[in-house]
Structures are given as structure tokens and as C-alpha cells.
Chain A
Amino acid sequence: MSVLLIAEHNNKEIRPFTLNAITAASQIDSDLHVIVAGNSCEDVAKAVSSIPLVKKVLHVDAAHYENFLPENFALLIVKISENYSHIISSANTFGKNLMPRVAALLDTSQVSDIIKVISPDTFIRPIYAGNAFATVKSNDSKKCVTVRPTSFEPAATSGGSATVEKIDGAEESNISKFIKREEVKSDRPELGTARIVISGGRGMQSGDNFKLITAIADKLNAAIGASRAAVDAGYITNDHQVGQTGKVVVPDLYIAVGISGAIQHLAGMKESKVIVAINKDGEAPIFSVADYGLEADLFEALPQFLEELNKLNTIQK
């Protein structure tokens, strides 16, 4: 049977984590269909059809799908689920919000946040903030799976020519209403997909001091992250939070500044390829995962770091 992937998009463009989820879905079964539901989202459907791993695109346009309310989306997914063995989405806030609603309506026990596909029914997923990996086998006839995007490479986006089938939506639930979305606009790379991430913690002491981080992020073309403590203290907005209940990042280089390294923060970044920790407390747990630790006062180290970077003229973009 085919597998169905739910695309996340903004009615104009596909969201990048959908590409990682497509890779995972194609490892479960190569007969991969993608549903693109939204309002006037034909450009997205077209873009998805050119992804070589995708065999078929189901395109649904209706006003009540414009803002991806799970009450409406779940009814749609359930309606078309009959011919699919697996329903799959990314395990970011989009998929986390939607998939359990679908799973409950299908009477399926969902497998959340997989990091590896062993076979079509067996997966590896992290538990306890990534302090343990569980290998689990789903015995439900129809499986609902969410995919940790950073554990799979993004699928190629050109060269394919899947058919696009326009299908009807399901009814509108009318029990919830979208009001607004406050997106933080930035020219920086997205936190989830950036090659370099520099994060600040409670040690930054104020939101204003994050300018020290921003200057380095500008220089390295890095995304800016933060610990929960920094977000809670109001130094920076929630979309920057890295950790068990925030975002999981796996950049080539992760620079943790003034972050002690609570278990919950490590859960979001310890798979990074190279980790740098800058902290004045030499005993801070962040040093236990750092490839390069610098025990120093960040208010001295960060300006020096920028200065040293300015001396290099080969920064990779």
C-alpha cells in the first residue's frame, strides 16, 4: 500500500522540514503520495510534484484549510486515509499538533519523532530527552508516524514529475478559528536548518547583550538559538528556543554561550557535528558534550571571538 505524507507549507512555499519527512517516508515505502491542502496553494502542489521521491500529489484548495487548523485538517486526512498504510508528517509544531488528532480518529497508536526507519513497522525514536533510544514496532494496521526532521537529509526538489490530482476537501469543523500569526521575520538562516547556530543562555544577563551574539551570527551567517532560561527571562523570543520542548538542531557547528547545559537543552543540540561551549563555570555540564570548551567570561570572549573571525578571510557562507 502507498504511504501518505502531509506537506507543511504557507500556501506559497513548502516548509523545509517537509523535505526531510519526504526522505523518511520514502524509506518506509517508495509509493509515496503527498497531500498539499491549503487555500490557493497550487504553486506548492506544483513544486511538490517536481520532487523526484514523490509519486503523486493530492491537491486540496478550500478557505478552511488556509491556516492549517487541526480540527479541519484531521477530518480531511481521515477521509482520504483508506488506501494508505502510513500517514506521515514532520515532528515539528505542525505535525505534533495535527498527527495525534488524526491517529485518534483512526484508532491508531502514533509513533512520534522517529530518527530512523528500520522497516515499515519498526522505528527508532528518542525518549527521555534523547537520553535513551527506543526501538519500537507498531502493530496497528494503519500507522501514524512523525519524523524528526534533522535526522533525515532533505529530499531533492527538482527533476520529478509526479501527477497532481485535485481532490475535494472534507467538511469544516467550525469549532476553532485562526486569529493571527506573529512570525519573527529575519534574513538569517532558519534555526532548524542552519549550518551554524550560536545560542545564548542565562549567562547573557539581558536581551540587549544578545547583540554580542548577533554580531557573530552576522559574521558566520549563523542562526541564533537560546536556552529556555534565556527565553523565560525575556531576553529573546520563543522561536529561538533549542531543547527538549523547543527545537532540535543538528548544525555543523553549534556555539553555546553562557549556557550551563541542562539535560533539556542538550536534548536539542547534542547531535550537532561540532560543539563549542563558552562558559565561565568550568564545571558546567555543557562542557561534557563540547568538542571545544573555552572557560572564559563571555563578555570578554565574544568581542575577541568576533575580532579573530574578522582576521580570517575565508569564512564559508
Chain B
Amino acid sequence: MKILVAVKRVIDYNVQVRVKEDGTGVVTDNVKMSTNPPDDNAVEEAVKIKESGKAKEIVAVTVGEEKAQETVRKALAVGADRGIHIKVDGIIEPLAVSKILQKIVEKEKPDLVFMGKQAIDDDCNQTGQMLSALLNWPQATFASKIEFKENKLEIVREVDEGLETIEVNVPAVVTCDLRLNEPRYASLPNIMKAKKKPIEQINASDLGVDTKQRIEQIKVEEPPKRKAGIKVANVAELVQKLKNEAKVI
């Protein structure tokens, strides 16, 4: 079995994002970047499956600018075997990413594609579902548990009402929830070894995929700020304020 894991480079989850003054986007210069957090869970799950003997090869893929390679390198350091970097500059929408990944799937013929359930930058939550649609594969989104049942997968999904269990045929696309597993840290020797693992670079334009933006970003602005609140001295004051000032209880 072969697993393709898609990873995305995003502003680190601990960074307080700031909007650019000219309204064209958010500040990314000199800002710490990392792998999208649930993509780490996707890599971890693939590595665990390989360690259990069920998968032979893990290929990590990313779509983005030159530095996006760092996310593939990180995946290689925790256990992916080789990497693919699809180079493209500027904003690329989930639909275009899915079309690129479709080309890679056609070339690599993996049995499973894993990725995070949502990227924490654009918060779109689309790519996995779109890819599975284009491939006419089943989709298992928001997965918090993955089990092999003969030649199928049984997946527990986190949904609004609680948990849902589905069974999907293989090949399938699985989008991973943060609770799927605990991503490991790369050890120094493995980081060194990862430097020797191959990363194939492909220009998006060579794949024959239309990556033109379909959605114009007209402006990006700061959300309205909350006015500063107060500290109350004790519980009695809190309850009085809620009753008499805020009038919410």
C-alpha cells in the first residue's frame, strides 16, 4: 500500500496574524511559518500505518512557493520516504490545488491520500473533499480514528452531533482531525537523514492545470475590535454586573 500525504505551509498557529495596512492581505514577511497543524496528524497517521506493516511507501506532497518545501522536508524527517513539491507562486485556491493533486494521484497511484481537515490560514476546508470528487473516490472527512477492515477503511468522524462511523472503499481520501493522533517530533538524526531523501520539483504550469484565481480578493480588513472590558473584584460583583448592567441573566 502506498500513501500520499498532502501538507501545506501556513503562518504558525501561535502567531497573532496582522492585517496589512493597504488591505491586500495579512503580513507574512518575517512571520514564523509551519506545517498546517492537522497536516502533521495526516503525516503521523501515514507513518504509523507504515510502521504497522500495512503500507510500504509514504510520499509527501506540497503545493506552493519555493519555501513550501520545508513542510515536505519535515514530513520526510518524521518518516515519509520521498517528497514532491509542486511549485506555484501567489494565491492558489483549493479547487486548483485539488486539480494539481489529482494529476499527482494519477501519476503516483496511491491507495490512500491523507491531509489535514482544514488549513488554518484560509479556513476553507475544501481540498480533500474536492480531490475525492475529482477522482470519484470516497471521502472520509474530519477523521479521528482510522481502522483497516480487510480491503476497506472504517473511519470515525467528528461531526456536530458527536461521532459518526463510516466505511469507505479503498482508494479513498481521508482528511484528518487534530484528535486522530499525537504527531511525533523529528529526532536530530532523522532530520539529518531527511536531507538526503529526494524531493521532486514540478512546476504547476507543466501539469496542464488551470490555476487562475476564480475568486477575487477585494480587500482584507481587521475585524471589529471589542471594547475593553473590566475586571470585577469578586463573584458577587460579577453576578450584579451580569444582572443589572449587561442584563443577560
Contact = CB atoms under 8 A, between A and B. Distances in A.
B139 to A, nearest CB: 6
A112 B249 contact: no
Q: Could you tell me the dominant secondary structure of chain A's interface residues? A: mixed
A299 interface: no
Contact of B231 (A122, A139, A293, A309): A293
B188 interface: no
A29 to B, nearest CB: 19
Contacts of B177: 245
Contacts of A175: 136-138, 168-169
B118 interface: yes
Interface in A188-231: 192, 196, 220, 228, 231
B221 interface: yes
B144 interface: yes
A309 B179 CA distance: 36
Contacts of B161: 181, 183-184, 239
Q: How large is the interface on B (under 10, 10 to 19, 20 to 34, 35 or more residues)?
A: 35 or more
B139 A292 contact: no
A14 interface: no
Contacts of B221: 132-133, 135
B215 A126 contact: no
Contacts of B124: 110, 112
Contacts, number: 265
Interface residues of A, number: 91
Q: Which of B134, B231, B243 has the most CB of A within 10 A?
A: B231
A136 interface: yes
Contacts of B222: 131-133
Nearest to B239: A308
Interface string A59-90: 00000000001110010000000000000000
B163 interface: yes
B30 interface: no
Nearest to B219: A135
Q: Which of B126, B127, B144, B236 has the most CB of A within 10 A?
A: B126
B245 to A, nearest CB: 9
Interface in A114-131: 122, 126-131
Interface in A124-177: 126-140, 173, 175-177
A261 to B, nearest CB: 12
Interface of B: 11, 13-14, 16-19, 26, 38, 93-96, 98, 117-118, 120-134, 136-142, 144, 154, 158-169, 177-179, 213-223, 226, 229-232, 234-236, 238-239, 241-243, 246, 248-249
A-B interface, 7 closest residue pairs, ranked by CB to CB distance from nearest: A100-B129, A109-B214, A104-B130, A104-B133, A100-B126, A176-B138, A291-B229
Interface of A: 69-71, 74, 92-94, 96-105, 107-113, 122, 126-140, 173, 175-184, 192, 196, 220, 228, 231-232, 237-239, 244-245, 247, 252-253, 263-264, 270, 273-276, 282, 287, 289-296, 301, 304-305, 308-309, 312, 314-316
